[in-house]
Amino acid sequence: MISKVLPTTVKNPNIIIINHSLAQQLGLNFSSLNNNQLARLFTGNDIPEGSDPLAQAYAGHQFGHLVILGDGRAIVLGEHITPTKQRYDIQFKGSGRTPYSRGGDGKAALGPMLREYIISEAMYHLNIRTTRSLAVATTGENVMRETVLPGAILTRVAESHIRVGTFEYVAIKRDIQTLKKLLQYSIERHYPEIKDLDKQAPEFLKLVLERQIDLITDWMRVGFIHGVMNTDNMSISGESIDFGPCAFMDYYNPKTVFSSIDHHGRYAFGNQPSIAQWNLARLADAILPLLDEDQNKAIDVGEEIIHSFKEKYERKFHKMMKKKLGLITDEADDVILIQELLDTMEKNKLD
């Protein structure tokens, strides 16, 4: 599931931006380091003491098709414990090739890394669960994309990088013991409130579903379109992760798509709730042997949980919309009123 790998050293590192507010929250103090030392630190030329860098393997349904993937250009430096005892992954993005690069160069361009920095911090300040960005540094090297671009490395902070695709990867291997260990680790790290040993897997699935409902509702609240809601881009912690062709919608249109390769609108704004449910069904498939020893009962348990998504999401969404509209009391026609508003906004191309 992991491969130990070091970041590729770079020629002329230079620090572009450091998120000092986040650093303070993490309990990190860089005041004793000069710019050159910071640049070397945030490009991987200098590895922090205690780090044991690794790249993770995972699978993913990309536009509905299952493929084996992994961190092709990302390396986790390690876990960091904050002064308040919270645990976070510290990860480089764009730090060179890994065993999962699949022919890619493992590098990243400055523009997209700055864009992820800005969007992830915007999401955080919009009170949406998200990975965050600690720093961006340039490498002093060029990367070839459609044109020649300056190379850069983003330092990302996440509650973890365990994805739905991580569970899919283990399920494909049919390694039940590793699947149990992954589930146990995920529960200990993200859902320690689960105490019933006999119902760990069903309770885990329920809680992941609840967090995804909260997350998608928040996306819909601000008009955010992720763009590539593949299962490898769904974190079991409920954080927004992997900001690629994402954007905030201008005028309201549920069919809005920002990914240049999403020709059929699979990941359009209005489809995000149903795609989240579909992805969660893939998580249920992956942990099916742990839901119940009897396969038929396991299927029933999984289906019951997944089928609860629609009603729970709609209740959460309408509660959010009522709050935005200042509707204090519950009225029978609230749902109709909300839908009429959205229809009017779409018809008149209102923001």
Q: What's the pLDDT tens digit per position in 75-86?
A: 999 999 999 999
Asked if pLDDT for residue 25 goes beyond 90, the answer is yes
Query: In 10 A of CB 192, how many CB atoms?
Result: 8
Q: Which pLDDT does position 259 carry in this prediction?
A: 86
Q: For residue 292, which phi and psi values (nearest 5 degrees)?
A: -170, 145
Q: Which pLDDT does position 93 carry in this prediction?
A: 98
Sign of the dihedral defined by the CA atoms of residues 313, 315, 320, 324, in that order: positive
pTM for this entry: 0.95
Q: Render pLDDT for 26-55 as a digit per residue (tens, 0 to 9).
A: 999 999 999 999 999 999 999 999 999 999
- Biggest CA–CA distance in the chain, Å, is 65
Q: Is 232 a catalytic residue?
A: yes
Whole-angstrom distance, CA of residue 237 vs CA of residue 130: 10
Asked if pLDDT for residue 318 goes beyond 90, the answer is yes
The answer to whether 223 and 252 are in contact (CB under 8 A) is: yes
Whole-angstrom distance, CA of residue 63 vs CA of residue 269: 15
Domain-wise residue ranges, the chain: 2-158, 175-318
Asked if pLDDT for residue 198 goes beyond 90, the answer is no
Q: Which pLDDT does position 260 carry in this prediction?
A: 86
Per-residue tokens: 306 = 């997944």
Full DSSP string of 177-188? HHHHHHHHHHHH
Asked if pLDDT for residue 267 goes beyond 90, the answer is yes
3-state secondary structure of 73: coil
Q: Which pLDDT does position 159 carry in this prediction?
A: 98
State the catalytic residue, choosing from 232, 242, 262, 292.
232
Q: Render pLDDT for 232-260 as a digit per residue (tens, 0 to 9).
A: 999 999 999 999 899 999 999 999 998 88
CA distances from 23 to 47, 133, 235, 301 (A): 17, 10, 23, 42
3-state secondary structure of 284: helix
Mean pLDDT of 145-165: 97
CA distances from 107 to 53, 71, 117, 155, 219 (A): 16, 12, 16, 13, 29
Asked if pLDDT for residue 266 goes beyond 90, the answer is yes
Asked if pLDDT for residue 196 goes beyond 90, the answer is no
